[in-house]
Amino acid sequence: MREQIIDTAVSTGFWSIWMTVFQDDPDMRQRFIKAFTGTSMDCFDQQTQPVARPGGKL
């Protein structure tokens, strides 16, 4: 079921909505981070919460 959710999320977009819906599920959030092209793991901690990145990097 989780793979189907990832497939649906990637095909429909709205990354931030999916991350919000699954805010209490680090496993799903980790899957979204990996599945959406261009999303950097450096932007998140182990619990998939955003981290500050002074100066940022692309």
* Residue 25 resides in a domain: yes
Report the pLDDT value the prediction gives residue 9, as an integer from 0 to 100. 97
* Residue 48 resides in a domain: no
Report the pLDDT value the prediction gives residue 31, as an integer from 0 to 100. 97
Report the pLDDT value the prediction gives residue 17, as an integer from 0 to 100. 96
* Residue 9 resides in a domain: yes
Which single residue is written with the structure tokens 């990145």?
A: 53
Domain tally for the chain? 1
User: Domain range for residue 21?
Assistant: 2-43
SS3 57: coil
* Residue 19 resides in a domain: yes
46 contact partners, CB below 8 Å, separation of at least 6:
26
32, 41 in Cβ contact below 8 A?
no
* Residue 38 resides in a domain: yes
Report the pLDDT value the prediction gives residue 57, as an integer from 0 to 100. 64
Per-residue pLDDT in tens (0 to 9) along the chain, 58 residues = 999 999 999 999 999 999 999 999 999 999 999 999 989 888 899 999 989 877 776 5
Report the pLDDT value the prediction gives residue 58, as an integer from 0 to 100. 57
SS3 44: strand
Please count the other Cβ atoms lying within 10 Å of the Cβ belonging to residue 36.
Answer: 15
